[in-house]
Structure 1
Amino acid sequence: MDLNIEVKKFSELTLTELYDILQLRSEVFVVEQDCVYQDIDGKDAEALHIIGFKNDKVVAYTRCFKPGYYFEEAAIGRVVVKESERKYGYGHEIMNASDKAIKDHFNTSNIKLSAQQYLIKFYESHGYSTTGEGYLEDGIPHIAMIKA
């Protein structure tokens, strides 16, 4: 089953889509990763939302920011795929769609993200390279990665 990907500004999200996105982020980043942190951080209104639907359910997601908002470069964050859907390669699809959305909406291919260190090879497969030293973010080892 193919992933149906939509790109939306915050104001274009339906209440159901927003609820489903927040539920997926909480399910993975708070519950699955056992990480108590404030996911709703006040930045969603400024983000471009890349949403992967399967059978009308949100199963993959990222949020993207214009250059200068989060980092000097454009940014991708909250990269997430529902655990039961990871075997289908949807992480690759949502990353490809996110890279394209940044190019289409912000006219740049210079992108930075904060990667969980165990996903370095995944992001490298999309053209990202590590930069700087690793660091802890909410108790999880991360490293900055850039695609130029």
Structure 2
Amino acid sequence: MTVHTTTVPFSALSPAEVYAVARLRQQVFVVEQECPYPDLDGRDLEDGTRHVLLRDSSDSGPAAGLLGYARVLDDGEVWRIGRVLLDPPARGRGLADVLMHAALAACPGRDVVLDAQSPLARWYATFGFVVDGPEFVEDGIPHVPMRLVV
């Protein structure tokens, strides 16, 4: 398998790509993690938002082979990474590292923040993130705020 990442604003996504992203976010967060939350929060459409898609290059078509996704938000003073996920069959192969490197590449010149699910805080720390506040529960899942200082 050969993978590649694409980082684009919402306007550059095809309808098939938007569908694939929404389907994968729903599959992981709503179904797998049992978190019925308002995923379509309006931030996907913001001018400064970037969508990071991780794909299997051997699949063809605009939405084929979507293995992972992350969203980068422009929060003014900082960048915010969220909605980081991999399709369940793609897990355990180091692909999340590829996805995070691409997301971080979309965050020039400012600190980067994220809310990590607590069990993943050690993984985010491998990219330089440090816990930046007390643990909290969101949608029934413990999280910690983390920051990468540039």
Task: Please give the TM-score of this superposition, normalised by the length of structure 2.
Answer: 0.90
Q: How does 1:16-35 map to 2 (within 5 A)?
A: 16-35=16-35
For residues 133 and 2 of structure 1, the distance between their equivalents in structure 2, rounded to whole angstroms, comes to: 39
1:123 shift after superposition: 0.2
Q: Which residue in 1 is equivalent to 2:128?
A: 127
1:87 equivalent in structure 2:
92
Find the aligned partners of 2:130 and 2:95 in 1 and give their Cα distance: 21
Query: How do 1:1-148 and structure 2 match up within 5 A?
Result: 1-46=1-46, 47-54=49-56, 55=59, 56-68=64-76, 72-103=77-108, 108-148=109-149
Larger fraction in helix: 1
Deviation of 1:87 (Å): 1.6
Question: Does structure 2 retain, via aligned residues, the 8 Å contact 1:99–1:109?
Answer: no
Letter in 2 for 1:65: L
Please provide the CA RMSD for this pair.
1.0
Whether the 8 Å contact between 2:43 and 2:73 is mirrored in structure 1 is no
Quote how far apart the aligned CAs of 1:67 are.
3.5
Deviation of 1:2 after TM superposition, in Å, equals 2.4
Deviations 1:33-59 (A, max 9, x none): 111111111110022001011123211
Letter aligned with residue 126 of structure 2: S
Which amino acid counterpart does residue 81 of structure 1 have in structure 2?
L
Partner Cα separation in structure 2 for residue 40 and residue 118 of structure 1: 25
Is the 8 Å Cα contact of residues 59 and 81 (structure 1) preserved in structure 2? yes
* Alignment TM-score, normalising by the size of structure 1: 0.91
CA distance in 1, matches of 2:37, 2:83: 13
Once the two structures are aligned, what percentage of the paired residues are identical?
A: 35
Mapped partners of 2:37, 2:106: distance in 1: 27
Tell me if structure 1 keeps the 8 A contact 2:81–2:112.
yes
Give unpaired runs (5+ residues) of structure 2: none
Task: Give the gaps of 5 or more residues in structure 1.
Answer: none
Structure 1 residues 79-127: Cα deviation after superposition (integer angstroms, max 9, x where no partner): 0001110121111100000101112xxxx24100011001011100111
Which 10-residue stretch deviates more, 17-26 or 32-41?
A: 32-41
- Find the aligned partners of 2:134 and 2:43 in 1 and give their Cα distance: 25
> Which whole-Å CA distance do the structure 2 matches of 1:121 and 1:22 have between them?
27
CA contact (8 A) 1:7 1:49 kept: yes
